[in-house]
Amino acid sequence: MSEPAEIRERTFEFAKRIVLLCRTLEQGSDVSRTLAKQLLRSGTSIGANVEEAKAGHSKPDFIAKLTIACKEARETHYWLRLLAETDIIPESKLTSLTDEANQLIAILTTIIKNARSN
C-alpha cells in the first residue's frame, strides 16, 4: 500500500514545528509544560503512523495506521485550540499550525476513504 509522498513530508515538517513550539512551552508554567507533553505526543505521532502505514503488511494494516494518524491530527488540533483559547500562546501565532492540522486531517481522511473503496 502507498500514499502520496507529500503526506509523509508534510507530517514530518509538521512534527518539526510542533517540537519547536513545545520547546517554547516547556519554558513556561506547569500548565504549559503539561500541555506541551500532550501536544508533543500527538503532533509527532501523526507522521510516525504515516511512516508505519507505508510499511503496512496489508490494506487493513495500512488503513488502520492512517486512521490512527488522522485521530492524532484531530487531537493535535484540539491541543492547539486549547493553547489559543486559554491565551497560553496567542492565536495569531498558532493559525498556521492549526490550519496545517486541519489540512492533514482532510488529506488523511481522503486517503483512508480512497483506500477503503479500492
What does residue 10 show for φ and ψ, rounded to 5 degrees?
-65, -40
- Residue 97: the pLDDT is 98
Domain ranges of the chain: 5-117
Q: HSE of 34 in the Cβ direction (CA atoms, 13 Å)?
A: 4
Using CA of residue 77, residue 36, residue 11, residue 94, what is the dihedral sign? Answer: positive
CA separation for the pair 41, 112 (Å, rounded): 22
Tens-binned pLDDT, residue by residue, of the chain (118 aa) = 444 569 999 999 999 999 999 999 999 999 999 999 999 999 999 999 999 999 888 999 999 999 999 999 999 999 999 999 999 999 999 999 999 999 999 999 999 999 999 8
CATH class (in words) of the domain with range 5-117 = mainly alpha
Q: Can you read off the three cell numbers belonging to residue 86?
A: 486559554
Q: HSE of 46 in the Cβ direction (CA atoms, 13 Å)?
A: 35
